[in-house]
């Protein structure tokens, strides 16, 4: 996929931050239709106005992706209004951290996190994948997970668990599409380290693991999305932790990550978006 000119793209969590940045790139590349989902109606309206002024063909839907029925209703409306999207960015996400798991709240922390970070991408993909397959066109499903889904980390157990689930599901769908011969539908799983947005306010960097700039992540994901790459992992040093799992005993890996590199202390001052 050289560009997305004429394509229909749907982005969740699109009212601000990186979701908005993906939408801006879609306008620049002359997407045929840009569908924005977000729970924040005021921010969504403001973002849509700016994108429309820049020449985008924009549709907005106020959707709480923690609610499966809202997802199903909005998806049906999108299909009726603009047709099935060619590209879906499962970008919406939440972060809960700086508490030990036994100190968290089942509803406010664990259930809420799992609904948005794990279940919502599954439900959304289930709504639109059949149409992507049936169209026979080049299509893309981008699922934004996290490097936290590749390695354990204290004070973010529910968040890490939600992203581990997202990664396992997302890459399994990629394999299923390949196995079924649907080669034109590509799945990209995105696994960045902490990003300097309000969501990760207070999270700390660690040696070899700098806090990422949102524009760098967006540009890299956009490039790899068009290629149909299976994974986007940033920074590449995240892969060192993956390699160590198969080589280094857990006790040594914990010592290196916790005592030497300080990775296990990166969420101690986390506050998140106020």
Q: What is the pLDDT of residues 105-134, one digit of tens each?
A: 999 999 999 999 999 999 999 999 999 999
Q: Is-contact 44 64, C-beta < 8 A?
A: no
Partners of 231 in the beta sheet?
Answer: 189
Residue 47 has pLDDT above 80, yes or no: yes
Sheet holding 58-62, edge to edge: 58-62, 33-38, 8-12, 87-90, 139-144, 185-192, 231-234
Q: Which residues of 198-222 are buried (b: 16+ CB within 10 A; e: fewer)?
A: ebbeebbebeebeebebeebbebbb
The overall average pLDDT reported for the chain is 93
Q: Is-contact 204 269, C-beta < 8 A?
A: yes
Four-way CATH pick for 8-265: 3.40.50.720, 3.30.1360.120, 3.30.559.10, 3.30.1300.10: 3.40.50.720
- φ/ψ bin of 189: left (φ > 0), alpha (ψ from -120 to 50), beta (otherwise): beta
Mean pLDDT for the stretch of residues 81-89: 99
What the block records as the tokens of 191 is: 């696994």
Q: Tokens 């890299």 identify what position?
A: 220
Active site residue 264: no
End-to-end CA distance of the chain: 39
Confidence class of residue 273 from pLDDT cuts 50, 70 and 90? Answer: low
pLDDT score recorded for residue 198: 72
Select the more confidently predicted residue: 209 or 72.
Answer: 72
Cα 214 versus chain centre, distance: 12
From 159, 193, 194, 264, the catalytic residue: 159
Cα separation of 134 and 184, whole Å? 11
Cα 266 versus chain centre, distance: 21
Q: Is-contact 12 92, C-beta < 8 A?
A: yes
Task: List the domain boundaries for the chain.
Answer: 8-265
Confidence class of residue 274 from pLDDT cuts 50, 70 and 90? Answer: low
Q: What is the pLDDT of residues 9-43, one digit of tens each?
A: 999 999 999 999 999 999 999 999 999 999 999 99
pLDDT score recorded for residue 203: 76
| pTM reported for the whole predicted model | 0.93
Contacts of 252 (CB under 8 A, 6+ apart): none
Q: What is the pLDDT of residues 180-227, one digit of tens each?
A: 999 999 999 999 998 988 777 777 777 778 899 999 999 999 999 999
pLDDT score recorded for residue 23: 99
């Amino acid at each position: 996929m050289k560009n997305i000119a004429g394509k229909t793209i749907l982005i969740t969590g699109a009212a601000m931050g990186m979701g908005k940045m993906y939408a801006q790139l879609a306008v620049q590349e002359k997407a045929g239709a840009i569908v924005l989902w977000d729970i924040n109606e005021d921010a969504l309206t403001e973002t849509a106005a700016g994108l429309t002024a820049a020449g985008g063909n924009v549709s907005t839907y106020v959707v709480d992706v923690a609610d499966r029925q809202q997802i199903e209703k909005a998806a049906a409306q999108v299909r009726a209004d603009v047709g099935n999207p060619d590209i879906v960015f499962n970008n919406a996400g939440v972060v809960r951290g700086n508490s030990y798991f036994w100190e968290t709240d089942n509803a406010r922390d664990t259930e809420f996190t799992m609904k948005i970070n794990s279940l919502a991408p599954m439900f959304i993909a289930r709504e639109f994948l059949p149409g992507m397959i049936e169209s026979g066109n080049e299509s893309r499903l981008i699922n934004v997970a996290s490097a936290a889904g590749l390695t354990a980390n204290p004070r973010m157990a529910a968040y890490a668990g939600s992203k581990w689930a997202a990664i396992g599901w997302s890459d399994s769908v990629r394999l299923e599409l390949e196995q079924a011969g649907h080669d034109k539908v590509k799945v990209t799983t995105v696994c960045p380290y902490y990003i300097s947005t309000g969501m990760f306010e207070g999270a700390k960097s660690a040696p070899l693991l700098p806090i990422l700039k949102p524009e760098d992540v967006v540009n890299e994901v956009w490039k790899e999305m068009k290629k149909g790459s299976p994974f986007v992992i940033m920074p590449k040093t995240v892969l060192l932790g993956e390699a160590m799992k198969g080589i280094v005993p857990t006790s040594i890996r914990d010592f290196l990550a916790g005592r030497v590199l300080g990775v296990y202390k990166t969420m101690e001052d986390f506050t998140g978006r106020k």
